[in-house]
Each structure stands twice: as structure tokens, then as C-alpha cells.
Amino acid sequence: MTNYSSFANGGITLIKPYQAGKPIEEVQRQLGLNDVIKLASNENPFGMGPKAKAAALACVENANLYPDSNGYYLKQKLQQKFSYNPNKITLGAGSNELINLLFAAFVNEKVNVVFPEYSFVVYPMETTVNGAQAKVIPLKDYNADLDAILEAIDENTRIVAFANPSNPIGTAISSKSMYEFLKKVPKQTLVVIDEAYNEFNSGDDTYQDSAKWTDEFENLVISRTFSKAYGLAGLRVGYMIANEEITSILNRLRAPFNVNIVALAAATAALDDEEFLQKTVNNNTKERARYEQFCKAHNLFMIPSKANFVAIDFKGYDAQKIADKLLHKGVIVRPLLGYKLKDILRVSIGTESENDRFFTTLEAILKEER
Ligand SMILES: Cc1ncc(COP(=O)(O)O)c(C=O)c1O
């Protein structure tokens, strides 16, 4: 047979396919369970907000039409709500697409990319796909080590990428440290701050809207999504904010109708639903504190989280085994073997009752194990 893999561009054959969390239906089918909860993909436990849902349903009527290629109304709403300049916004089918586009535009075999260890898998994947060298920087106290990142940057570093809050660890860098860091990064190196979990990053009293810093730092690129706090993961919509030249490059590269018509309508309406956003964030903050209490009470180490998930370090225990047992009792969580973190489970924060179910199920498993 013809070896088609040998025809594939760049480093495509070197990467492993993305391993997504198991869908509820598959687990129900495989294990014969009918009451399964999924705390594995950091989705919004309340579904989509009522305003977004109404807009999406109304818009389905127009699904025979192509969407507005420039996403005019969504960009206007982003400007109205956050004062972002529409000329600095690129819309994508999820922020994942935008990260892919940015790497496709700027990364090649002549450059390197710097990111912290245990980063979101898309950064190493896209570095490899585009033939670049990855410089992976160990964490310090479970957080990105900004000094070590600065030291690793050389004249060939095209991108420094990190998520803030990070995934799958959940820690965050303060606004003050980030700002000091940005001042020191050379201008030929783009700094991508992936803020997929930005809305959950409460409790940082130095918090500032980093997208505003794109006026001051021409090499800064901010990535945001509607998949998490806004509850639109299945519709696929996100945005990137960067200087107008970078934005123009991304807009040339993206497919003309990359964000579908329903996603555009839902995201625009979601920005008007402050009540739903607050409900989501408040639940997360309250429930995250319950995870902390649970872990303390059961002698488990929870890495301090600023996101809508927690990483629990079972220190020496096989977290995959615990995840399997949870799965058989209808609770899907995310083991991090793919990240070579075999002791750690990542659990998305659910509603109060979903979290109760997780606590009682894990409690029973720990009793069996200990
Ligand atoms: C850190 C981080 N960035 C980006 C994404 C991509 O999100 P989406 O493509 O749904 O916007 C995720 C999704 O889990 C994430 O964890």
C-alpha cells in the first residue's frame, strides 16, 4: 500500500491524536450505567445560559445562510462590554483553533517555542506539527517559573505560551508578576496568554484585564473562550486579541466562515447574561472551597486552583486506578497519565449535588484502598 504518512507535512505523524474525555453516552453504554456524571472536561455544569440558549434556538432558523464572516455583532459586543478594539480581535471555532492558527502562522523549523511543563497539550502538539523545537520549563511550586522562562528565551524563540490559570494544574500567575514579565520579553517573541479559565480566576486582588496590555506590549496575544464560564463548549467559539498586524495575519489564514452562525448568535447573547456568568463563577468559587475542605479532611493534597477544576495529588497512589473505580460508579474524572502525572486526578467542579456525589464516591473508594 502507498505510504501516505510519508506525504504528510511537517511533524504531523510525530504527534499522538488528542485524547478527549469520554462522553457520558459512551460510558453509559459500555458500563451499563444510567446515572453518569462527567467531571472531566471543565465544562459549565449549568449548561448554556438562558439568553445564549434563546439566541441560539432563534438563530437555527437561519442555518441555511452562511454566517457573517467578520462576526461584526460579536466584535461590537466585545467592544461595548470590555472596550476591546474590533480590529484587534480574531474569532475562532473555539480558542483551540486560534492557537493552531497562530502556530501555523509563526512557528516553523527555524524557531523554538517555550512553555511550562504540564501545559495544555495543544502547545507541544502544534510546536511539533510545525517542525519547531520545544523548550519545556519545569514548574516552580506547581506554577509557571517566569524567571526560568525568561532565561530560556533566545533569539530564535518565536512564541512563549502558557495558560493562566493553567490547565491541567489550575494555578495562576498574579497580574503584577505577569506585567513585570511582559516588560522583559524581547519583542520578536510573541507571548501567548491563554485565558480559557480567566473568569474563574477570582481572589487575585492584583487582577487586571490583560487584554488591555496589548496596547502597551505589541508582542502580547491573549486567547479567550466561550467554552467554559459561558457554557458554549459544544458550539465552538473563542477569540484572540493581539496587535492589528498579527490580527490581520490570523484573519487571512482562518477559513472565511470558521465560526458558525449559531455560535456567533449565542456568544453575542452570552455576553449580555451577567446573571448566568455570576451564577457560574459564584458556584465555582464556593464549590472549589468545598473540594479544598474535602481534600484536607481526607489527607489528600489539592493543588491550589484558580480555575473551574482541581488537581488532586494522590502522592504515590495510582490515580488511574482511582479514576477507573470512579468511572465504574458513574463518575467520570480525568487522570493525567497523558501528561505523565500518574498520581494526579483532575476533577472539573460541578454543581453542588454533582460534587457531593464525587465526594461520597471517592470516600467509599478511599476506605476500600486504605
Ligand atoms: C488552557 C486551555 N486552552 C484552550 C482550550 C480550548 O478551549 P476551546 O477550544 O473550547 O476554546 C482549553 C480547553 O480545555 C484549555 O484548557
**Grid coordinates representing 248?**
490581520
Fold of domain 50-273: Aspartate Aminotransferase; domain 2 (3.40.640)
Q: What percent of the chain has pLDDT over 70?
A: 99
Q: What is the mean pLDDT of residues 271-300?
A: 97
Tens digits of per-residue pLDDT, 159-173?
A: 999 999 999 999 999
Residue 302 pLDDT = 96
Residues 6+ apart with CB under 8 A from 284: 200, 308, 349
Asked if residue 25 has pLDDT above 90, the reply is no
**Cβ proximity of 200 and 165 under 8 Å:** yes
On the question of a common fold for 4-47+275-369 and 50-273, the answer reads: no
Exposed, middle or buried: residue 316 (CB in 10 Å: 0-12, 13-18, 19+)? exposed
Query: Which of 208, 149, 167, 189 shows the shortest CA–CA distance to 308?
Result: 167
Q: Ligand 1 mean position to 96 CA, how many Å?
A: 6
Position 67 confidence tier, pLDDT thresholds 50, 70, 90: very high
Position 203 confidence tier, pLDDT thresholds 50, 70, 90: low
Nearest atom, ligand 1, residue 237 CA = 11
Q: What is the mean pLDDT of residues 320-339?
A: 92
Residues 6+ apart with CB under 8 A from 8: none
Query: Which of 369, 365, 311 shows the shortest CA–CA distance to 342?
Result: 311
Q: What is the separation, in whole angstroms, between the first and last Cα of the chain?
A: 53
Residues 6+ apart with CB under 8 A from 60: 262
Q: Assess whether the C-beta atom of 348 lies below 6 angstroms from ligand 1.
A: no
**CA-CA distances (angstroms) from residue 104 to 85, 159, 171, 250?**
24, 12, 28, 9
Q: Assess whether the C-beta atom of 42 lies below 6 angstroms from ligand 1.
A: yes
Residue 205 pLDDT = 62
Q: Ligand 1 mean position to 231 CA, how many Å?
A: 12
Asked if residue 204 has pLDDT above 70, the reply is no
Which DSSP string corresponds to 29-47? Answer: HHHT-S--EE-SS---TT-
Most confident of 23-27, 34-38, 128-132: 128-132
Which residue has the CA at smallest separation from atom 8 of ligand 1? 94
Asked if residue 274 has pLDDT above 90, the reply is yes
Domain assignments of the chain as residue spans, ordered by start: 4-47+275-369, 50-273
Helices and strands of the chain, counted as H and E runs: 12, 13
Q: What is the mean pLDDT of residues 272-282?
A: 97
Asked if residue 133 has pLDDT above 90, the reply is yes
pTM comes to: 0.95
Q: Ligand 1 mean position to 352 CA, how many Å?
A: 24
Mean pLDDT computed over every residue of the chain? 94
Sign of the alpha-carbon dihedral angle for 265, 271, 277, 281: positive
For the beta carbon of residue 34, count every other beta carbon within 10 angstroms. 7
Asked if residue 10 has pLDDT above 90, the reply is no
Q: What is the mean pLDDT of residues 327-352?
A: 92
Architecture of the domain defined by 4-47+275-369: Alpha-Beta Complex (3.90)
Query: How many residues are listed for the chain in this entry?
Result: 370
Query: Of 44, 90, 96, which is best to mutate to test ligand 1, by the most ligand atoms within 8 angstroms of its C-beta?
Result: 96
Residue 352's H or E segment, with its range, is helix 352-369
Residue 223 pLDDT = 98
User: Residue 349 and residue 39: Cα distance in Å, rounded?
Assistant: 7
Q: Ligand 1 mean position to 297 CA, how many Å?
A: 31
User: Residue 107 and residue 132: Cα distance in Å, rounded?
Assistant: 6
